[in-house]
């Protein structure tokens, strides 16, 4: 979750970002930061869903399905329904402020009048129409809760159904296959190959994407669902946690090999970066922005700066066609190997109780829900400052985290909201330590 803050704080300062994609773009952009953010994006949400599947299996091992559903409704569905409209309104307020303050949106009208006109416009509500690949406004960064709820619902239904013996036997075979794969790191190639048809279509040709649309996209469901299932199977074969602890380096090395395949994707699918003029803004290619006389040119470039050292342009069609299956294989291989490597690193070096880590873990949920508007308004406020992009990125990351932690401590953690999201927490007293949680 904290990596999500890092990722979104870095977007305004990436060489591959334009105002059509993100809206808030700083003149000072850094290629090293671009490479780092794209690396984080290659495994961050996949790791989240793998961890979710791991702990879902653990809960179902110790408690019944009814408890599992009740807890997920309490900690996922209710916060999602409450936060979604507020976050979307806050995000639009930030975007409109940025366009109004820096690009003259509103034609001289005040900020609040411009925001009101935007919220009642047809253009704004067109942004909620689902698209085939999961784009558009939809749930914004809260899409992670949307898909997790889908996986939880699927999980609960599968557990509740009294399956025939043939299906139970099929599940047992799948568990044994996972046992065999986890016994040696190189065997991770097998599920990576099987996953190729399940990789979401945008991941075949681009790096920065997300299924934020209100309507679920099936191949995003299958792709992230594979990560959830991998975590679930890992818990059923938890004796292999020691294997991950001992061989995490193998998985890290496999991830690096997989990254060469992701570089192939960027080589055969170059990125168009739009250079907008006259205030052309977010979503203006949809053809519904006023005034209609806005123009933009584009620059064809590699999204990963290191590729510029190896090639001057995209390959010919005859060379690119045999390489088309390498990107989805690399995506699934990096997803599985990076996540398992990080599991092993955590088990080897951080497998100990820490009140500080527990506190940060508790706060991560709230901070991630909160952070997106903050990581957009801070770069907008710093836009006129002649500082390097890395400096602004650091300020945005630290300030967003600090604001979130202060709000979490004094407005969330010990209130009914904190109880809803993480369970009850008892405020420490000066007379002595108290139990950190009334229940797990």
pLDDT at 435: 45
114-129: average pLDDT:
86
Residue 440: pLDDT band (50, 70, 90) is very low
What pLDDT digit, counting tens, does each position of 403-415 carry?
A: 999 999 999 889 8
Q: What percent of the chain has pLDDT over 90?
A: 50
What pLDDT digit, counting tens, does each position of 386-399 carry?
A: 999 999 999 999 99
Whether the per-residue pLDDT at 354 is higher than 70: the answer is yes
User: Is the bond preceding 25 in cis, omega lying within 30 degrees of 0?
Assistant: no
Range in 115-129, 180-194, 305-319 with the lowest mean pLDDT: 305-319
164-168: average pLDDT:
91
pLDDT at 295: 53
What pLDDT digit, counting tens, does each position of 2-50 carry?
A: 888 999 999 999 887 777 778 788 888 888 888 888 888 888 899 999 9
Note whether 209 and 141 are within 8 A (CB). no
pLDDT at 134: 62
Q: What is the pTM of this model?
A: 0.88
What pLDDT digit, counting tens, does each position of 258-287 carry?
A: 988 888 888 887 776 666 554 445 544 433
Tell me, letter by letter, the H, E, C secondary structure of the chain.
CHHHHHHHHHHHHCCCCCCCCCCCCCCCCCHHHHHHHHHHHCCHHHHHHHHHHHHHHHHHHHCCHHHHHHHHHHHHHHHHHHHHHHHHHHHHHHHHHHHHHHHCCCCCCCHHHHHHHHHCCHHHHHCCCCCCCCCCCCCHHHHHHHHHHHHHHHHHHHHHCCCCHHHHHHHHHHHHHHHHHHCCHHHHHHHHHHCHHHCCHHHHCCCCCCCCCCCCCHHHHHHHHHHHHHHHHHHHCHHHHHHHHHHHHHHHHHHHHHHHHHHHHHHHCCEEEEEECCCCCCCHHHCCCCCCCCCEEEEEECCCHHHHHCCCCCCCHHHHHHHCCHHHHHHHHHHHHHHHHHHHHHHHHCCCCCHHHHHHHHHHHHHHHHHHHHHHHHHHHHCCCCCCHHHHHHHHHHHHHHHHHHHHHHHHCCCHHHHHHHCCECCCECCECCCCECCC
What pLDDT digit, counting tens, does each position of 291-305 carry?
A: 444 555 666 677 777
φ, ψ of residue 400 in degrees (nearest 5): -60, -45
User: 65-72 and 143-160 helices cross at what angle (nearest 10)?
Assistant: 160
pLDDT, greater one: 381 or 202: 381
pLDDT, greater one: 351 or 368: 368
pLDDT, greater one: 440 or 111: 111
């Amino acid at each position: 979750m904290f990596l999500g803050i890092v990722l979104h704080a870095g977007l305004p300062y990436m060489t591959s970002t334009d105002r059509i994609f993100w809206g808030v773009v700083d003149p000072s952009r850094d290629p090293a930061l671009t490479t780092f953010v794209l690396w984080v994006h290659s495994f961050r949400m996949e790791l989240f869903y793998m961890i979710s599947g791991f702990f879902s299996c653990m809960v179902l091992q110790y408690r019944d399905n009814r408890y599992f559903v009740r807890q997920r409704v309490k900690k996922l569905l209710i916060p999602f329904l409450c936060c979604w409209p507020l976050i979307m309104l806050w995000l639009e307020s930030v975007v409109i402020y940025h366009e109004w303050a820096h690009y003259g949106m509103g034609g001289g009208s005040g900020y609040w009048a411009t925001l009101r006109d935007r919220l009642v416009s047809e253009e704004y509500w067109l942004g909620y129409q689902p698209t085939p690949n999961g784009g558009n406004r939809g749930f914004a960064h809260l899409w992670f809760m949307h898909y997790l709820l889908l996986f939880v619902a699927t999980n609960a239904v599968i557990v509740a159904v009294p399956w025939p013996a043939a299906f139970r036997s099929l599940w047992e075979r799948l568990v044994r296959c996972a046992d065999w794969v986890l016994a040696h790191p190189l065997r991770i190639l097998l599920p990576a190959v099987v996953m190729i048809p399940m990789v979401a279509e945008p991941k075949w040709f681009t790096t920065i994407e997300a299924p934020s649309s209100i309507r679920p996209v099936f191949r995003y469901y299958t792709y992230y669902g594979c990560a959830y299932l991998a975590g679930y199977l890992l818990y059923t074969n938890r004796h292999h946690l020691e294997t991950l602890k001992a061989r995490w380096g193998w998985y890290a090395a496999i991830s690096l090999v997989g990254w060469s395949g992701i570089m192939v994707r960027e080589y055969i699918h170059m990125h168009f970066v739009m250079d907008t003029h006259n205030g052309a803004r977010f979503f203006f290619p949809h053809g519904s922005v006023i005034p209609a006389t806005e123009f933009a040119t584009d620059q064809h470039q590699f999204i990963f700066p290191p590729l510029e050292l190896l090639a001057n342009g995209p390959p010919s069609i005859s060379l690119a066609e045999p390489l088309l299956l390498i990107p989805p294989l690399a995506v699934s291989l990096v997803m599985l190997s990076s996540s398992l490597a990080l599991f092993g690193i955590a088990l080897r070096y951080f497998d100990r109780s820490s009140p500080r880590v527990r506190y940060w873990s508790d706060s991560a949920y709230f901070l991630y829900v909160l952070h997106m508007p903050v990581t957009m308004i801070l770069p907008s406020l710093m836009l006129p400052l002649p500082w390097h992009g890395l400096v602004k990125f650091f300020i945005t990351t630290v300030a967003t985290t600090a604001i979130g932690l202060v709000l979490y401590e004094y407005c969330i953690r010990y209130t009914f909201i904190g109880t809803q999201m993480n369970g009850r927490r008892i405020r420490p007293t000066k007379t002595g330590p108290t139990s950190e949680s009334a229940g797990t």
